Structure formats: structure tokens, C-alpha cells
Amino acid sequence: MVGSRTSAQQRPPVIQIQDLRYRWQAGDNDVIAIERLEIATGERVFIEGPSGSGKTTLLNLLAGVLKPSAGRLLVLGADLMTLPGTKRDQFRSDHIGFVFQSFNLLPYLSLLENVLLACRFSRKRQERIAAANVTPADEAARLLTHLGLDHQTLAGRGVHQLSTGQQQRVAVARALIGQPELVICDEPTSALDADARDAFLTLLSAETQAAGATLIFVSHDRSLASGFDRSISLNAVNHGKGSGR
């Protein structure tokens, strides 16, 4: 584990944070105040933090939904401090896959359409799929099969008829389609039982690695940290007060 960490850090960082600060309004206390944090390409990082520690805020910052109040935040070398909002949205759709805690899927889209949703807003993802000489639908089907979902049998069913574990795996397929460099998971296993959780973690790890993506996994559950290259305690690095929400 130590070895992989060293080798990972020799590659250029996916995320570089220096004196990053975020507050909801000027005059408020900092929610996020991180002096220094780097995550290297290909690394699989576990960020642990109890609720209210500013996890969600940090993820929104990394994903470019929120704009930092001060400091330096580079994601894949792009300065999210200076990118305007629409560019940050474009950046997110091109380079970041996202998996939520639960209910990741739009109920009115089919399994395949939910996966393809990630390509809808990103030409880069479409181009990467085209470069591999496959159609987006084929690629989505391939990912679903890899994740243990037979989309042809499941296709007829509404998304809401899938089990929570299946839904989470569809969300992973959506995050991975078109090979984004970074995959961020926000408590993706908290709605799963122990067996499903372990199976999900193994799949997630294998698939992100196969796709060559960096994985950031956020959870309050410290016991999940063992399968990752590195574990960061948010309370230790964040000197802000957290969201307090």
C-alpha cells in the first residue's frame, strides 16, 4: 500500500489544493479551509468524515458546482478558481463521473438512457467513445455487463424496479462512460447491505482501475477505508467548521 502510494505520487496530481477556503457568504466562518491536499493520477483515495464535516461542500468544490472563496484549486490542471460557471459545468461533464448515495437514476429514463445521460452534455465523452470505434449504446451495454447487469433482461423493467445495489451499479456505469479522468463517489454504499456493499466496492475498484480513472470515495464509515490506496480524514485536513448543516 505504501508502495503504490509512492508510485502514484510520482505522476502529475489530479487534484491540487492550496489554502482552499469556502464560506457561504462573506463574513461567515469558513466551511472549508484546507491548507494543502494533493491527489495523484490513478490514486484511489478514501476521504473519511462524519456528517457536518464539510464533505458535501468539498465534493461540490471539486466538481466545480461551487466556486472557492479563496485559495487555489486545480483539478486536472484546470484552475476552478478562475473558470466561469458554465465552463466549470462543462469541465465536470467532460472529466468527472459522479455517484450519489442513492436514487442516482432518473425514473423516467430507461437503464441505458440513464447511462447515456452522461454523454448528453459532454462532447468529449462522445468523442472518446467514438475514438474506440463503438457506439455510445454499445459502450453503455459493455459497462453494464462488466458491472454484472444484464441490461437486456433488465431493459424492460423500470429503473425503480431495480434493487438499490443494481441502481448503484448503473450509476457507476454512468460515471465511467466516456472515460472521465476522475470518479467521485459520495457515500455510494450507505444504502446497501454488507454483502452488496463488498461486491459493489470490489466492482467499483476494478472498473475505475480498468478505466484508468482516479477514484475519490467519501464516506463516514471508516471500515471501508481498507480497500483504498490512501485514506484521508477530513477533520484532520479541514480547519474550517464544516457545513454545520
Task: Pick the closest to residue 173 from 153, 149, 144, 152 (CA basis).
Answer: 144
> Binding other proteins by CB under 8 A: which of 20, 40, 63, 192?
63
Q: Does 105 bind other proteins (CB under 8 A)?
A: yes
Nearer to other proteins, 86 or 133 (CB): 86
If you count them, how many residues does the chain have? 245
Q: Does 106 bind other proteins (CB under 8 A)?
A: yes
Q: Does 104 bind other proteins (CB under 8 A)?
A: yes
Taking CB under 8 A as the rule, which mask of x and - marks residues 177-216 in contact with other proteins?
Answer: ----------------------------------------
Nearer to other proteins, 27 or 84 (CB): 84
Cα atoms found within 13 Å of the Cα of residue 68, Cβ hemisphere only? 24
Pairing of strands 78-79, 214-219: unpaired
| 30-38, 72-80, 99-107, 148-156 -> range binding other proteins (CB under 8 A) | 99-107
Q: Does 120 bind other proteins (CB under 8 A)?
A: yes
Task: Pick the closest to residue 144 from 182, 109, 184, 116 (CA basis).
Answer: 116
> Binding other proteins by CB under 8 A: which of 16, 41, 53, 56?
56
> Binding other proteins by CB under 8 A: which of 33, 34, 58, 66?
66
Nearer to other proteins, 5 or 108 (CB): 108
Q: Does 89 bind other proteins (CB under 8 A)?
A: yes
Task: Look at the block and give the residue holding cell 465536470.
Answer: 92
Determine the Cα–Cα distance for residues 60 and 64; give it in Å rounded to an integer. 6
Task: Pick the closest to residue 46 from 231, 233, 235, 196 (CA basis).
Answer: 231
Nearer to other proteins, 65 or 162 (CB): 65
Q: Does 20 bind other proteins (CB under 8 A)?
A: no
Contacts of 111 (CB under 8 A, 6+ apart): 144, 149, 151, 154, 155, 157, 159, 162, 170
In terms of C-beta density within 10 A (0-12 exposed, 13-18 middle, 19 or more buried), how is residue 107 classed?
exposed
| 2-10, 116-124, 126-134, 187-195 -> range binding other proteins (CB under 8 A) | 116-124
Binding-site size for other proteins (CB under 8 A) equals 29
Contacts of 194 (CB under 8 A, 6+ apart): none
Q: Does 121 bind other proteins (CB under 8 A)?
A: yes
Whether 224 contacts 217, CB under 8 Å: yes
Where does this chain bind other proteins (CB under 8 A)? 56, 59-60, 63, 65-66, 85-86, 89-90, 92-94, 98, 100-101, 103-109, 117-118, 120-122, 174
